[in-house]
Amino acid sequence: MTYAVTAVFPGTFDPITLGHQDLIQRSARLFSKVIVAVAVAHHKKTLFTLDERLAAVRAVVAPWPQVQVEPFTGLVTEFAQLHGAQAMVRGVRSVTDFDYENQLAGMNRVLKPQIDTVLLTPDARFQSVSSTLVREIANLNGDVSAWVAPSVLALLRDKLGAPPSASA
């Protein structure tokens, strides 16, 4: 018996990294439909606008037809329920991430017990990658080409006005 299961993978994606891509691709193998939920992020200042982040994520996930990209604001559990999701995927790179994600999963379970949280670890190459570190390194003209897709690297170059790549 086969079940159609929809999962939501939420985040700010400022910018989307190869670690995110790894988790999205693996989620697409696990679930029949994956919705990458790009947070409006009222709570923090982002480098990229919502529209830029949506476009960047859409470009990266284009090879996977079962993955769609949508903006969201408010509680991600409400977004997940609205889209008929049964699962929420979260990435865990470290024990610190696990502690935070475990607390978040517990709260989300109280809010929407019918939505399960699935924690995935990224490929070992991306264990230390975060959007924050990519932004900081790129902002200081460091090479971030090992951690973002070429299309995202081009966006970083355009936004920051040069390098973030050894080949630039």
Which residues are part of the catalytic machinery? Answer: 20, 44, 93, 131
Q: Kindly report the three-state secondary structure assignment for every residue of 5-54.
A: CEEEEEECCCCCCHHHHHHHHHHHHHCCEEEEEEECCCCCCCCCCHHHHH
Residue 4 and residue 92: Cα distance in Å, rounded? 25
Residue 24 and residue 29: Cα distance in Å, rounded? 9
